[in-house]
Amino acid sequence: MSDIGEPLTGELPELPRSTRRVAFVDSGLGLLGYADALHALRPDLGLVLSLDPDNMPYGPRTPDEVQRLILASARATLPFEPDAVVVACNTASVHGLGALRAELEPHVPVIGTVPAIRPAAASGGPVAVWATAATTSSDYLRGLVDAFAADVETHAVAALGLAEAIESGDEQAIEESIAYAASHTPAGVRSLVLGCTHYGLVVDRILAALEEGVTVHDSPVAVARQTLRRIGLEPDATAPHAGVEAVLLSSRPGRLPESWASYPAGRRLLAAPATGRPAGTSH
C-alpha cells in the first residue's frame, strides 16, 4: 500500500465536528480495526488517527525508541482535545503505555492493547498465538502465557512478514505470510490469538488457511468497550454520525489514503472523511 496520503493543502473542508473524540495511535494500519470497532459502538465520537509511516514497523526498535515514537504520535493528537488515547499496537503498549499514562492521565485516559490470551485459554486449548517474530520471542508474551494460559497447551507462531505485507497492501505477500504461519500452526489448535493489531484486517483470509472450527480471538471490540467505560459512555450504535476528524502521518496532517479501501475497516472509515481541524478551529 504505497499511498500513505498526501499532506493537506489549501482550504480544509467545512464539515461538522463532534463534541467528543478519541485518538488512536499506532505505527501503521493496525489502528484501523480498533477505530472501526469504536465507530460501530459510538458513531457520534470523532476519530483522530495518528500513524507513523516514517518509523514503522516498531517491532525491531528498542524499547526506548518505541516509547519516544509513541509519545510523539500521541502528543500530536492533543490539539484535537481527545477524550481518550488508544494505543492500538501491542509493541507500543508494552514499551510506551506507562510513559503515556504518566504524561496524560488523569486528564486524558490512555487505553492499551493486549493479545487476547486470557479468553482464548478460558475456552480451552490448544491455543496458537500468531505474532511478529519479535513478539513471539519476547518476555512479554511468555509472561502473558504464564499468567493466563499456564495450564493450556499454547504455541507461539511467528507470522513472518504479515504485518509488513498488510501495511504495503501486497496481496501475494499477504497470502504467502498467512500460508507460512498456517503451516507452522500445529494441527488440532482450537483457538487462535491475533498478537498483532494488523492481523485482524485479514482475519477472513487467516481463517480460510486454518482447519475448520478454529475460533479467532482479537481485541478491537474489547478495547472499544473499555474506552467507552473510561470516558463514561455506553454503547449506542444509533447515535448521530461523526466519523474521522483528522489523520496524522508521523505528526503531519494528512488524508485518508484511498488504498485503505483494501480492507473492510478501511472502507468504512473512508466513508467518513477527515476535516484535519484541531479542536477550537473556527469554520
Smallest Cα–Cα separation from 119: which of 37, 190, 42? 190
Hey, which residues does 252 pair with through a beta bridge? 249
The CA distances from residue 279 to 43, 61, 142, 148, 276, in Å, are 18, 32, 41, 41, 10
Residue type at 151 in one-letter notation? D
So what's the pLDDT on residue 154? Answer: 94
So what's the pLDDT on residue 58? Answer: 84
Place of cell 504495503: 168
The set of cell numbers assigned to 188 is 488440532
Which burial class, exposed, middle or buried, applies to 10 when counting CB atoms under 10 A from its CB (0-12, 13-18, 19+)? exposed
So what's the pLDDT on residue 17? Answer: 56
CB atoms < 10 A from the CB of 13, how many? 11
CB atoms < 10 A from the CB of 44, how many? 17
Q: Give every strand in the sheet of 154-158, ordered side by side.
A: 154-158, 127-131, 191-194, 215-217
The set of cell numbers assigned to 42 is 459510538
Taking the C-alpha atoms of residue 30 and residue 157, their distance in angstroms, rounded to an integer, is: 19
So what's the pLDDT on residue 14? Answer: 40
The set of cell numbers assigned to 96 is 510506551
Query: Known catalytic residues?
Result: 89, 196
Low-confidence ranges of the chain (pLDDT < 70): 1-18, 272-283
Taking the C-alpha atoms of residue 22 and residue 242, their distance in angstroms, rounded to an integer, is: 11
What are the start-end ranges of the E strands in the chain?
Answer: 21-25, 46-51, 84-87, 110-111, 127-131, 154-158, 191-194, 215-217, 243-249, 252-254
Hey, which residues does 272 pair with through a beta bridge? none
Q: Say whether the peptide bond before residue 53 is cis (omega within 30 degrees of 0).
A: no
So what's the pLDDT on residue 18? Answer: 58
Q: Are 176 and 160 in contact (CB under 8 A)?
A: no
Predicted model pTM? 0.87
Q: Is 243 helix (H, G, I), strand (E, B) or coil?
A: strand
Within 51-116, residue ranges assigned H as helices are 63-75, 90-104
So what's the pLDDT on residue 274? Answer: 54
Instruction: Please work out, in degrees rounded to the nearest 5, the angle formed at the alpha carbon of residue 108 by the alpha carbons of 103 and 114.
Output: 85
